[in-house]
Amino acid sequence: MEYTDILFLFLFLPVSLLLYYICRERLRKYVLIALSVLFYACGSFSHLALVLISVGINILLGRAMDVQRERTLLKKGILGIGVLYNVSILLYYKYTDFLLLTVGRLTGADVVLKNLILPMGLSFLTFRAISYLADIYHGGISTRGNMASAALYLLFFPQIQSGPLARYGDMQTDGGTPGFRKTEGFSEGCYRFITGFNKKILLANTLSNITSETFAAGARMSMAYAWLGAVCYSLQLYFDFSGYSDMAIGVSMMLGYRCPENFRYPYMTESVSQFWRRWHITLGAWFRDYVYIPLGGSRAKKRSRCCMNLFVVWALTGLWHGASWNFLFWGLGYFLAIWFEKLTGWPERFRSKAGKHLYRVAALLFINFQWVIFRAEGLRAGLRYVRSMLYCAADPLADARALFLLKDYLAFILAAIMLCFPIVPWLEKRLARWRASRAAWEVAVVLANGFLLVWAVSFVVAGRNNPFAYANF
């Protein structure tokens, strides 16, 4: 079940909010657990038993570690078992066919692929479970009396499908009692949900019409046609995933729980490294805290060891996104770029603004090429597409089609480019100086969001809706 489905919008979400707020506060946690199980059953019923068993095993392993406070070696063993258990499930469902296909190509043997269906949100559930166990091991959290809170953390339906990757330690009240940190943000949650919904339906889904066509074009592609598709995919993926994150944050806030931010205007970046501090923030923080730092991070005495630590992180980041060589190539591309910036100190060492601006353009171009590799059906297809972007080949039909698409979707493309920058927060800050203008702005925002919401819902009712891109990861 997607956040943009009619069933979720007009049945599951309203009923969930109603049940949550009419029941007693001490029962709300259990109501949310039941709703989360129902949500998962609607989206991936065939894997429900697997997920529930995994949640139970992780809770028991966490409890077993928590009672062994003085026996460090045993705690390490339990943590190792937990990590191995969670990773093995992910490896089996996500990478079995990839490994079989690779072995078949290397040996020339005929292999029979299993064609396994990936359980909904398995990658995110695996990472949440590992962070839960690791935080218990390091003593950051306690499981005593909090087994229901642990179950809710692992199953929490606003975040189970595609994140953001919240930590269990972040989901405690200020007093340390079990549960999530309460907020007064129901109206703000509604605003975030509507904003994300509009971004996904009106911008991401509309731009996907261009990207689906261009990436399926194959050899018949001019330079202009290729660039149009590449730029639109960069915009589509941003508004798709940031739209989902806004919706997840909004639902969490409506239920009284705070959810970490996942995007911070990433295309305003000044470097490739900074881009990944703005894009999918919770995933980057997870790899930093649970892979990079435990390996030694940048504190290693030898530069080669630092390089290896970064290599491992980005190889795993690439493979986490998908079982294909293009994802590994994509991850290693970022490794090379970020390691280059670490060695040179660019662009911080630039003294002139012109140099920094030129480097920013180069970083954005690199990121755009990387998204092409990310989107392509395979590594060869991705490299062919990049070649089309760099090779000035003329194709009258493709050029005419590119011009037609640009004219037809120009308003959506320009709106997407403008909203990659903090225009709305800037206007709010400027208008906040005067009470009358602030009130007029608030009314205008409500009316505009209402109009866009009705427009977006009409798209969904008409069947013009695509699955979230990161639901496949």
Q: Quick count: other Cβ atoms within 10 Å of Cβ 367? A: 20
DSSP 318-371: HHHH-SSHHHHHHHHHHHHHHHHHHHH-TTTT--SHHHHHHHHHHHHHHHHHHH
Contact 274, 218 (CB under 8 A): no
- C-alpha torsion angle, residues 281, 321, 117, 379 (rounded to 10): 160
Q: Examine residue 347 and say whether the peptide bond preceding it is cis (omega within 30 degrees of 0).
A: yes
Q: How many angstroms separate the CA atoms of 166 and 126, rounded? A: 12
* Nearest alpha-carbon partner for 150 in 225, 62, 232, 76: 62
Q: Among this protein's residues, is 321 annotated catalytic?
A: yes
Q: How many angstroms separate the CA atoms of 318 and 124, rounded? A: 15
Q: Three-class SS of residue 72?
A: helix
- What is the Cβ-side half-sphere exposure of residue 400, based on CA atoms within 13 angstroms? 3
47, 138, 280, 321: the catalytic one is: 321
Burial degree of 276 (CB within 10 A; 0-12, 13-18, 19+) = buried
Long-range interactions of 35-43: CB distance < 8 A, separation 24+? 35/157, 36/152, 36/155, 36/156, 36/157, 36/160, 37/155, 38/12, 39/1, 39/12, 39/157, 39/160, 40/120, 40/121, 40/155, 40/157, 40/160, 42/1, 42/7, 42/12, 43/1, 43/120, 43/161
Q: How many angstroms separate the CA atoms of 361 and 219, rounded? A: 28
Produce one character per residue of 433-444: b if its CB has 16 or more CB atoms within 10 Å, e if not.
eeeeeeeebeee
Query: Annotated active-site positions, please?
Result: 321
